[in-house]
Every structure is written in C-alpha cells, then in structure tokens.
A and B are shown apart, each in its own frame.
Chain A
C-alpha cells in the first residue's frame, strides 16, 4: 500500500535526522539535522491529512525555530566537542533510565484516557475552516492565554536585549560626575 511505504520512508528519514541531531560532532550539523527532523514530522502530518498543521509546522519549526537554534549555536562558539572527546556522556545509563521514566509518565495517562478506547476508524478530516471556528469558539481561552504568553515573551526578549537597560544599570552603579567649578571662575573674571 503506497501509504505505508511513504510513511516508512518519511518516518525513517525523521528518525535518522533526529539521531544525527544527537550524535554529530559539529553543533551546526546537529541543528540542521534537527530542522530535517522537523520537516520529516511535517511530512507525517501531511500523510494524516492534517494540512494546516503540517504547513504550520514547516513555517514555525523549520522557518523560525531552526534559525533560532542556529543563531544560538553560532553565538555560543567554543562549545564544540573536540575531535578526541566522546559524544555520549559518562552517565548514559542514568540518562536512559530517566528517559524511560519520562516516557512512562507521558504515555501512561494517554493510554488510560478515553482517546485510546475509541480511536476514530477513518481519518479525521479537519479543514482549516473548522479549525478556525473551533479556535474562536471552543478553544478561545487557550488561544488568548497563548497570545498573552507570546506577548510576554516578546516584551521580555526585547527588554533583555535592549541596550538602554544595560547602560542604565551601569550608570546607576558607578555615578561619575565631573566637577562643575569651571564656569563660576570664568564668570567672575568678566
């Protein structure tokens, strides 16, 4: 069945890219592999007929978040792993145990919830029109909350990156005032 073949191809591509994002030495290669993993995920969404989610995933993750990750990698040079150092950390067993525990915490409630009992038999068609209407009626509170959070993040980022804040704090800490005695002397001689 062509659906299964394309799904396996895209799934293997996404998984390989995700593994490369963990295992490669060069951080820029890792970030680009992560972008490829996001694109693979978008392809999986497309196969599930969720067009809006797939394109939004491409637009947000590949178009913005990958670039953010790349800028972060570039601005923090010196974090590259040297040619002789090992990629895997020494406490890899503990890491795997924590990962399995997290998976259990996430997967447990999902399996116990009502979704796993009555899975939809045919693919759910969610045209953009119905997504828009649901966002404005049923999911209005989450939408507004997310909007508020994004605004707070934007303002916070602008404040942190603002040069005025840095110079103001510097000036506050070290008030250097020049002596202003020059003018009265000149005034007295005229």
Chain B
C-alpha cells in the first residue's frame, strides 16, 4: 500500500514537473513550432510518396490508384550499365570533394585566425563568403568565362606568361572533375569556415598563453590545442558529409557539363533529371532516390559509430 502511494506520488511529481517545464519553456516551444511544422509537412509527410518506387505510378491515377510493380524498378536500374557509370562518377567526384574540400575551410579558418588586424580579417571573411550567396547559374557563367579559350583569364595567363596554346578546359575529360571540385570549393569554403571560426573563438586563450610559456611554437599550438578544440565540430561535419556521399548537387554539374564530358561528368542527379523530368519515369527515379537515401543513411550511421569508437565522441 505504501509502495502504491509512493508510486502515485512519484507520478504526480513527474507530471507536475513536466507541466512546470512546459509553462517555463512555452515561448521556446512556440518558436520551434514553425520549423517543426515545416519539417513535418515537407519532409515527413511526403515520405509516404516513397511507395511510388514500388508502383507503376501514373499522376492521373494517383499514388493509391496506381498498380503495384514490386521491385521491378530497383531491378531495372541495378541492371542498367548507365546507372553504374553515373554512380562511379558520383563517388569519384564526391571523394575528391571530400579529400580536398573538407580540409580547405579548416585551413582557411586556421589561417584567418592568425591575422591580427580585425579590419583585414573581416574584409577577407566577407570576400570569402560572397561566392556562397550567388546561384550556381551565375557561378557557372563565371567559371565558363574564366576558362574560355578565347577570352578567359586563365588562358590569357597561360598564353602570355607560359606561352601555352589556349586550352578548352570544359571539354577536356581529364580536367572536368577538377573544375567541378575547384569551383565547388571556391563557392563553399568561405561559408563552411564559419563553423570552424566560431569553434575557434570558444577555445580558452589561456591554453595558448600557457603553451607559449612552455615554449610551444604556432605549429605545436595548432596541433595540440587548436585542432583538438575543433575536433567535435570536425567530426559532426565529416559525419554529415559522409551522409551525402552518393549525392551531388544537380545544378553545378548540369550547368557545366556538355556532351564531350558525359563519361566523366554525368552523375546520379543529372541521370535522374533526364529520366524523371524529361522522360517522366517517376517510379524509376523514386526507386533510385530511395536507394540513395538508404545508402546515405547507412553511411551516416556507420561513420557515427566509427567516430564513437575511434575518437570517443559522436553526434548521437
């Protein structure tokens, strides 16, 4: 009896605590509400549409009215050699982006951190952010102009300084992937460095002072203080990037590629665009998209676990 009363009292206390917490944090929950609604309406609700991958979907019959097709479309794209070609291109380009694009904002943040003058620091930061805000349509135009064999600055320099004949870079398969990776880094490194710059500001300055007294130089300080201080944010961003390893932004590739570089530049997103939008193969492209998401999810999960084992820290 006493035990029952004690349990009842505990439950009442829990409910009371919950109500107090709710009342206390109500404004915050209200602030969160629009984002949650957005997430529910545009991300969770459409999940039901995944069933299109298993149906012979017709927009005029609707999702529920379309006939079942089973795993026909999965079998279809898995047996299509063109799919494996675009998958290979996607993985290669993504790995290049990860290898060169991931350290770039870290290095930039570290270098920026070394600048003493606040005024110059802010100017450089602002200039580095700017490409992030221009659309890929404009960025692709800039890249095309810069690399133009007739009027591009790169070829002008090659011709005048190095006496090399103009190179039509955008139609050379051997340069195309590099162009994609470099333009990707140029557009995004400034904004990405913001995370690292913010983390750097949270590192205790006393650690640096103490290490200076111990005779540590800049490099040692970077290795022993700065990088460990950035460890958590690096892990978070790396895990998230690994989670999109089979996804490349459609716009960049679509605007820059051309028939000569299809072999090396055609990726999953452009492949699904051709099939889904131009050929209206909705079921097939949904099947591809679903498979991509599953692979990405698996990679996020595995990288998070690996991080926990190796670094002792993980996102969840």
Same complex origin of A and B: no
Which residues of B line the A interface, CB within 8 A? none
